[in-house]
Structure 1
């Protein structure tokens, strides 16, 4: 399987300028290709991404766009490949229609040429060679293998630090597994209820630490909003240096919240995998449909349920554990984990499951996780 790692880069100011240029050109090439495809579609002209890429390469030869040659050619070439992949997902009905990338909202990132990446060590410091940028010092706890080819290397900026993520072929973890099936029921009150773990995995968003950060974020957002209103000139908002400083501070607070939530999910999934079950069963989740409910959409977004499922899936694959997704209509919450009867009149407000037949009294989420653990795939 492919194992991905992420290392923190420590570029110089000159290297950072080139990295921002690369990210900007990657975004420009993607948006240019998307605009070209939409224009040809409106005019009824049949064209492929390959045709747009050839036209873009000719554009780079003109004096007006000679700045596109200041970075690696692979940066813009891969942007068209990314656009091609986005259209394929759209036509296969696995994603939405490709959208233009925003300089303000989208994360700055670009592709690094895989066969030009070289890792070296000098005077106890670690360096990575990236085409057109040079040797960049990096920090990592990983033992990175020296390979001739790395898979899909990307350089990204999270608002504070630069990172290089890449993949390489790696064998699965050969560890002895117990003959146990584990069921996981995800929720909003608690992140996850696991059938073979006594206590549910807590919702990190309800802790005092996260609440304090969210309170700080709200205050900063109000502050920047007042400054925008104060500097408003008719229908136009004037952006001052103080507003820019506040917006950078808001980005860093958002970054901190994201990192706390991702770290919590990594710890939760590791906790489940370390029990060494032979099988993990999770319920089917229609995240897009759930997000349409205005009352719980924010809570679902903060819980990062899709990210939990994604991490659980690849960690199971890496450790040789069977990952099973239960059928969409499997009544995990309404079924009694003791006698198997289905309670059709169970309401969402009923947090304790009481069976009318065998008298079982169990927490609703715990009962659902036990049912998921006992789930059998239909032939």
Structure 2
């Protein structure tokens, strides 16, 4: 049995390649929005759904028009896949798997596009993108080859699935799926139970604790710098406000780029810590791993703990454990939210419904004492008022 694993590598394009990448991403967004609008028009007129095959034929006729002749400058596979993605979102909506699909905004959506999995080629240091230059001259053919940031990261001469190129606001990335043989080894070590928290990220039953990375000095300094930049950018926007509209200056663009760098750095630190933690747990080869089903939405409602909960990335921790356990044939058990783990006896399995808490009586006495003090104070004030009259 084969498993598809995805690899994501940063690209290092030159200026000409950068313009081409943005051109491809904008064309993919246009094709997606065009397909969405055609689907909406057809639904309003009384139809049910247009297949992606019919939309592709209609899009080829659109390319022949003079107003849309610029679409021919981009590879045909990019627009085809964008139309297919738009149709897939509608199919998922009709099945009840997602919300009503929206148009891709130029300002808010992440620029991305698809590459043909057969025509894409990788070397140790470069990747060949389809259609950047159709010239046969060697000097112009160099435009198709984009340099990779990491050497020998993606294997050569193998089957690739769903290659996508995306832009995160700072760098261009390529992600591709590669088939690998599934491991048949079954681990037989003692099982591990994991308790997630804020003080520590994870406390395991085998007496291994994994610290909270957000308490490190480097993360705290970066968070402080991030807050300072947010305030300075807001002040600059208010200062350059003209006739009710915000004006973006060159200094604001520089500050926003620096803010993006710090934000990406913080996210990378947290993601790296989660990957290291989950890999350490899985490498111990336990017979099973048990985690709790946390109510993260409910925890986020607490204004004192919401930021700390958000920074811990509990869902990402669970997602990484799920696929890493699947790769290593380790069953992942998710305990129910209201499972009485603290009231359950580890020996006989008896559940003690009225669990005795020795501190409960002390809390009760303190509450009674404070209530009586408040009452006495109120009576004293009333007596003072009566005596003064």
Which residue does 1:67 correspond to in 2?
70
Cα pair 1:279 1:323 within 8 Å, conserved: yes
Cα pair 2:345 2:351 within 8 Å, conserved: yes
Q: Hey, what's the Cα distance between the residues in 2 that align with 1:89 and 1:298?
A: 33
Q: Hey, what's the Cα distance between the residues in 1 that align with 2:329 and 2:121?
A: 31
Which residue does 2:163 correspond to in 1?
153
Aligned residues: 345
- Residue 30 to residue 223, structure 1, CA distance change in 2 (3 Å): same
TM-score, structure 1 normalization: 0.80
Which residue does 2:130 correspond to in 1?
131
TM-score, structure 2 normalization: 0.78
Q: Hey, what's the Cα distance between the residues in 2 that align with 1:327 and 1:128?
A: 46
**Matching residue within 47, 50, 54 for 2:49:** 47
- 2:283 pairs with 1:280: no
Which residue does 2:102 correspond to in 1?
99
- Residue 63 to residue 300, structure 1, CA distance change in 2 (3 Å): farther
Instruction: Spell out, residue by residue over 1:251-293, the C-alpha distance to the aligned partner (whole angstroms, 9 max, x if none).
Output: 1111111111110110010110111112122222454565566
Cα pair 1:49 1:80 within 8 Å, conserved: no
Cα pair 2:123 2:156 within 8 Å, conserved: no
Cα pair 1:331 1:342 within 8 Å, conserved: yes
**Matching residue within 157, 178, 203 for 2:212:** 203
Which residue does 2:365 correspond to in 1?
none
Identify, as 1 or 2, the structure richer in strand: 1
- Residue 253 to residue 69, structure 1, CA distance change in 2 (3 Å): farther
Question: SS at 2:170's partner residue?
Answer: coil
> Which stretch has the larger CA shift, 259-268 or 229-238?
229-238
Larger Cα-atom Rg: 2
Q: Hey, what's the Cα distance between the residues in 2 that align with 1:231 and 1:73?
A: 43
Q: Hey, what's the Cα distance between the residues in 1 that align with 2:74 and 2:354?
A: 63
**Matching residue within 114, 118, 133 for 1:115:** 118
Deviation at 1:57, TM superposition (A): 3.5
- Residue 247 to residue 184, structure 1, CA distance change in 2 (3 Å): same
- Residue 29 to residue 321, structure 1, CA distance change in 2 (3 Å): same
Q: Hey, what's the Cα distance between the residues in 2 that align with 1:106 and 1:53?
A: 23
Cα pair 1:172 1:320 within 8 Å, conserved: no
Provide the aligned C-alpha RMSD in A: 2.9
Deviation at 1:342, TM superposition (A): 4.6
- Residue 139 to residue 240, structure 1, CA distance change in 2 (3 Å): closer
Q: Hey, what's the Cα distance between the residues in 2 that align with 1:296 and 1:100?
A: 35
**Matching residue within 4, 7, 10 for 1:8:** 10
Deviation at 1:213, TM superposition (A): 0.9
Q: Hey, what's the Cα distance between the residues in 1 that align with 2:98 and 2:305?
A: 23
> Which stretch has the larger CA shift, 237-246 or 293-302?
293-302
Which residue does 2:363 correspond to in 1?
none
- Residue 278 to residue 164, structure 1, CA distance change in 2 (3 Å): same
Q: Hey, what's the Cα distance between the residues in 2 that align with 1:130 and 1:23?
A: 13
- 2:56 pairs with 1:24: no
**Matching residue within 175, 192, 197 for 1:182:** 192
Q: Hey, what's the Cα distance between the residues in 2 that align with 1:118 and 1:82?
A: 23
Q: Hey, what's the Cα distance between the residues in 2 that align with 1:245 and 1:136?
A: 26
> Which stretch has the larger CA shift, 213-222 or 184-193?
184-193
Deviation at 1:43, TM superposition (A): 4.4
- Residue 87 to residue 194, structure 1, CA distance change in 2 (3 Å): farther
- 2:81 pairs with 1:78: yes
Unpaired runs of at least 5, structure 2: 133-143, 360-389
- Residue 210 to residue 339, structure 1, CA distance change in 2 (3 Å): farther
Question: SS at 1:114's partner residue?
Answer: coil
Unpaired runs of at least 5, structure 1: 347-352, 357-379
Which residue does 1:249 correspond to in 2?
258
